[in-house]
Amino acid sequence: MDFITGETLYIDKPLGWTSFDVVKRVRGVLLHRLHRKKFKVGHAGTLDPLATGVMLVVTGKSTKLIEQLQAGVKEYVATIRLGATTPSFDLETEIDGTYPTSHITRQLIDEALHAFRGRIEQVPPSFSACKVDGHRAYKMARAGHEVELKPKVLVIDEIEVVDFDSEKMDLTLRIVCSKGTYIRALARDIGKALESGGHLVALRRTRVGDVSIDDCLDIERVVEIIRNAPLEFPEEEQSVK
């Protein structure tokens, strides 16, 4: 494998890992394998620690392709718990409000989802990496500051119900969307559309562009491959050797 010219690694990000954790793990084993002190490794599209699924990690000169890879359509399977909200719109923070759910039916859900197809405006979560006056929104939110973010235009190509547990009030959706879509914010907005509340309790990214979850390997399998794969080097590296 030619990690210097560049490889794109398809990884199934584990629960609890940040995207930086994944990049750090890959970079660490590459530095050891290539006998270097510095080496470029990046990723195409952040996943929250509580999310799992497709993550594209690129090495060497292929880091120049990150923007192109990030532009690919994303597919997610998300579970939203209706009837309660949290400040982060997911399980990172504690419930801060509860709302009625007895009126919510499958028919009402189907009707509400119509408004979330096509081009929509979405206000990013306060607990996000968006910048406000040069500061990361999530850092300001965690410090207790009020964060005001402007809505962004995005595209939801598909949104459909996978399952609805009317006892737990857990709504599982398959979502195909453009770059920049915050599924946590979608959970918030769907809760509001149902005249209730909602927050994300599970998220799995199942596709990025043409790469599906079936193409991905767990992180330790990728590390094993890096450690054992025959190495190739570009001509300029070979001349140095």
Torsion from C-alpha of 150, 153, 156, 161, nearest 10 degrees: 20
Is the Cβ–Cβ distance between 54 and 213 less than 8 Å? Answer: yes
A 10 A CB-CB count for 104 gives 21
- Distance in angstroms (rounded) separating the CA atoms of residues 41 and 58: 6
Is the Cβ–Cβ distance between 143 and 152 less than 8 Å? Answer: no
Q: Of 2, 21, 48, 90, which one is the catalytic site residue?
A: 48
Tokens of 123: 């206000």
Would you say the C-alpha torsion 59, 55, 181, 129 has a positive or negative sign?
A: negative
Q: Which residues contact 173 (CB under 8 A, 6 or more apart)?
A: 77, 78, 79, 80, 113, 159, 160, 161, 162
Residue 57 burial class via C-beta count within 10 angstroms: exposed 0-12, middle 13-18, buried 19 and up? buried
Is the Cβ–Cβ distance between 48 and 201 less than 8 Å? Answer: no
Say whether 163 is catalytic: no
Q: Alpha helices of the chain — where are they, by DSSP H?
A: 19-34, 66-70, 106-113, 137-142, 183-193, 219-228, 235-240
The catalytic site residues sit at 48
